[in-house]
Amino acid sequence: MNPSPSLSPEALLHALEALWMAQHEAVAQWHQHQMCLPPGEDLMALGLRQHRCNFDLWHVEDEARRQDVSEAVIAACKRKIDVLNQERNDLMEVLDQWFVAVIASFPAQRGLASEVPGHTETLGAVVDRMSVLSLKIYHMAEEARRLDAGEAHVARCQQRLELLWRQQRELRQAVAAAVEDYAAGRRRPRVYFQCKMYNDPSLNPALYRVRQKEQGGVHAGV
């Protein structure tokens, strides 16, 4: 990853707001046509790449719950979900690394003691939550506009839509407070490493036991 730019706390919040707006716009545009992702390693580029993983996951997950297709189709969906979820989590780590590098340039972070606490949720995880919220808002709004659904369905979806918008506002307020803490040196950011095991053939027993069996049993040092 390229070195992260030096941003002020205000500029970081502005960049996050721009990304959240872009997430909402991208959901609508991707439902109409394929939109090219911006190149680069800045917050917008990384955030939209991670957002695209969530977008694709959402729709493959929908297909995986169909009852009118063969087991082979469902199995293919599950494999796509596995790949996309790994990429989604990998990009959350990359986002966290970007945030840590940017926030390290805040004056109050320089020389900060290592025991200064972090937050329970990283900004990379927040970007992921905002991405999922934008998808929920888009699809719940679709359901609230359905002409073939009953009044109770529409009313329930409208109520949930209002709840989702409120949750997004509250999350944005929490992020502003977190950035304020970083700017004041009250907290320090960290990368939350997922340490996923299921796709690593050396860590997933279901994978390495098959390999051992194919190789004729467990060998010393394996």
* Rounded average pLDDT over 61-83: 96
CB atoms inside a 10 Å sphere around CB 58:
17
Q: Are residues 106 and 204 in the same domain?
A: no
The three-class DSSP label of residue 110 is coil
Q: Are residues 163 and 203 in the same domain?
A: no
Structure tokens at 139: 């699809």
Number of domains comprising the chain? 2
Position 218 scores a pLDDT of 53
Structure tokens at 196: 């996923």
Share of the chain above pLDDT 90, in %: 78
Q: Are residues 59 and 157 in the same domain?
A: yes
Residue 181 belongs to a domain:
yes
Position 4 scores a pLDDT of 67
- The tens digit of pLDDT for each residue in 34-53 reads 778 999 999 999 999 999 99
Q: Are residues 57 and 137 in the same domain?
A: yes
Residue 67 belongs to a domain:
yes
The residue among 152, 157, 129 whose CA lies nearest residue 47 is: 129
Q: Are residues 101 and 209 in the same domain?
A: no
Residue 3 belongs to a domain:
no
Q: Are residues 149 and 206 in the same domain?
A: no
pLDDT band at 221 (very low <50, low <70, confident <90, very high): very low
Which residues have C-beta within 8 Å of that of residue 142, sequence separation ≥ 6?
A: none
Q: Are residues 68 and 159 in the same domain?
A: yes
Q: Are residues 187 and 201 in the same domain?
A: no
Q: How far apart are CA 128 and CA 103, in angstroms?
A: 19
**Helix 43-64 to helix 9-30 angle, to the nearest 10 degrees?**
40
> What b-and-e string marks burial along 134-147, b requiring 16 or more CB atoms within 10 Å of the CB?
bbbbbbbeeebeee
Q: Are residues 48 and 128 in the same domain?
A: yes
Q: How far apart are CA 35 and CA 166, in angstroms?
A: 28
Q: Are residues 218 and 139 in the same domain?
A: no
pLDDT band at 220 (very low <50, low <70, confident <90, very high): very low
Residue 4 belongs to a domain:
no
Contact 80, 53 (CB under 8 A): no
Q: Are residues 181 and 206 in the same domain?
A: no
Residue 22 belongs to a domain:
yes
Tokens 């580029």 map to which residue? 45
Q: What is the pTM of this model?
A: 0.90
Average pLDDT, the chain: 92
Tokens 């200064």 map to which residue? 116
- The tens digit of pLDDT for each residue in 115-147 reads 899 998 999 999 999 999 999 999 999 999 999
- Residue at 114: amino acid letter: S
Share of the chain above pLDDT 70, in %: 95
Residue 1 belongs to a domain:
no
Domain that holds residue 217: 193-222
Q: Are residues 197 and 175 in the same domain?
A: no
